[in-house]
């Protein structure tokens, strides 16, 4: 397998160009992305077939492997379009396809296109792995319900590559095959359209007594996010080939942070420097971006009643607030010129500069020039300059990172 470091592939979500660049600059070995049809995150920004040449060229320039997701249910009237997408993907140099529908697998086999079997197929034993191997699969993505011990047993009995999720959202349904969104809103999770009604508060009504009960305090259909940073060494030692981060519908700063943290963890492991203290530090970093609380998923046991989110939204310890935009960047002196359009920033703050070409830059303010004078605070209407070592672009957005008390 063609990975850059340590034989463990770190795979990141790429829902749009900003996320893609954030994944690459923060140390991903591979990215997975969807087109505007036939993928499990239809509501993400996604890409188009016409953008494939640019995506593949960019990723090849940075030695990044590309996985195209064609992992939804496919209907009869979509078979022609599906075949056209597979042909275009192969012609443009996509590395592999991730699929669950056997029609996709069969067409990949027809066109000699390497494919991986999605977690949607719920592979949880070696016999199932062998079936897909005979069909031509090169990799299996383990069912989300597999324990670490079960993965070890499967690893011992198959020579297929094994991919497993290490971070991100968990679904209440078996390997994400949920029908709740389709039933309530005619938006199928199995077609990438889930509106996540499971994350909400519900009222249960008993007509026999005419009373209702609000089921919301524990949000019993909304699992906490998976986080494996505290036992990532055990995943490496289990023989998993690829670590997958979930989150194509999340924000670019989430991708940047998650990729950066797991990149550090993998590298530190192979340097024999991944200590318990360091794991705690990395966990604190992950808590800063969107999360519903963390659990170990199914890796050690069935999640307990304590492994539910408890809130509808995020438990992140920080949030971003828009403060301005980049007016110019002076390459020779590595200085960004920024217009403050909202709020206040000061020395010691952390800001994000984000854009489709820039990706995500996290900068700690150590020196600030405000309206051509050195100052410690800048407010709405001010024009500021600051040292930025990486190239930023005109109209890139600037955000203040605020700590949530």
318-403: same fold as 9-175+221-295?
Answer: no
Residues of the chain with pLDDT under 50: 1-5
Confidence (pLDDT) at 4: 38
With 0-12 CB in 10 A as exposed, 13-18 as middle and 19+ as buried, what is 330? Answer: exposed
What residues contact 98, with CB distance under 8 A and at least 6 apart?
32, 67, 68, 69, 70, 71, 115, 116, 117, 118, 141
CA atoms of 141 and 166, how far apart (whole Å) = 12
- Specify burial of residue 305 (Cβ count, 10 A radius: 0-12, 13-18, 19+): exposed
Given this model, what pLDDT does residue 221 score? 75
Judge: domain 318-403, CATH 3.40.50.620: no
Parse the chain into domains and list their residue ranges.
9-175+221-295, 318-403
Per-residue tokens: 246: 């979930």
Q: Is the dihedral of CA 302, 256, 90, 88 positive or negative?
A: positive
pLDDT at 41: 59
Q: Would you list the DSSP string of 277-305?
A: HHHHHHHHHHTTSS-S-EE-TTSSSS--T
Residue 375 CB contacts under 8 Å (≥ 6 apart), including other chains: 368, 369
Sign of CA dihedral 131, 135, 140, 142: negative
The token pair that represents 70 in the structure block: 């064609």
DSSP bridge pairs for 222: none
pLDDT recorded at residue 312: 79
CA 376 to chain CA mean position, Å: 36
SS3 (DSSP) at 103: helix
Instruction: Write down the pTM of the prediction.
Output: 0.89
pLDDT at 21: 97
User: CATH top-level class for 9-175+221-295?
Assistant: alpha beta
């Amino acid at each position: 397998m063609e990975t850059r470091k340590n034989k463990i592939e770190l795979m990141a979500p790429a829902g749009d160009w900003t996320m893609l660049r954030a994944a690459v600059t923060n140390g991903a070995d591979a990215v997975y992305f969807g087109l505007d049809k036939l993928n499990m995150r239809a509501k993400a920004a996604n890409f188009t077939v016409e953008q494939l040449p640019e995506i593949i060229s960019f990723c090849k320039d940075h030695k990044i492997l590309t996985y195209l997701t064609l992992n939804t249910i496919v209907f009869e009237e979509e078979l022609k379009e599906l075949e056209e997408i597979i042909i275009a993907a192969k012609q443009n140099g996509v590395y592999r396809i991730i699929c669950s529908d056997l029609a996709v697998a069969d067409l990949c086999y027809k066109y000699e296109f390497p494919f991986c079997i999605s977690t949607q197929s719920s592979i949880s034993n070696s016999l199932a792995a062998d079936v897909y191997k005979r069909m031509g699969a090169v990799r299996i993505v383990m069912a989300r319900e597999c324990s670490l011990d079960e993965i070890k047993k499967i690893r011992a009995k198959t020579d297929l590559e094994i991919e497993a999720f290490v971070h991100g959202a968990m679904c209440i349904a078996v390997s994400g095959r949920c029908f709740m969104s389709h039933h309530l809103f005619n938006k199928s999770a199995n077609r990438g359209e889930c509106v996540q009604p499971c994350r909400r508060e519900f009222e249960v009504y008993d007509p026999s007594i005419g009373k209702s009960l609000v089921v919301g305090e524990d949000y019993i259909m909304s699992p906490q996010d998976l986080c494996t940073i505290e036992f990532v060494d055990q995943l490496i030692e289990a023989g998993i080939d690829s670590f997958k981060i979930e989150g194509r519908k999340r924000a670019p700063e989430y991708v940047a942070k998650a990729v950066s943290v797991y990149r550090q963890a993998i590298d530190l492991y192979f340097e024999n420097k991944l200590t318990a203290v360091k794991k705690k530090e990395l966990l604190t970093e992950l808590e800063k971006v969107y999360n519903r609380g963390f659990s170990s998923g199914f890796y050690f046991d069935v999640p307990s009643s304590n492994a539910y989110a408890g809130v509808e939204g995020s438990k992140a310890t920080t949030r971003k607030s828009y403060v301005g935009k980049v007016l110019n960047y002076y390459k020779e002196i590595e200085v960004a010129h920024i217009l403050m359009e909202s709020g206040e920033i000061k020395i010691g703050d952390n800001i994000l500069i984000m854009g489709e070409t820039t990706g995500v830059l996290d900068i700690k303010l150590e020196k600030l020039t405000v309206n051509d004078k050195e100052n410690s605070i800048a407010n709405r209407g001010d024009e500021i300059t600051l040292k930025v070592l990486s190239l930023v672009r005109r109209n890139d957005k600037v955000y203040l990172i605020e700590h949530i008390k």
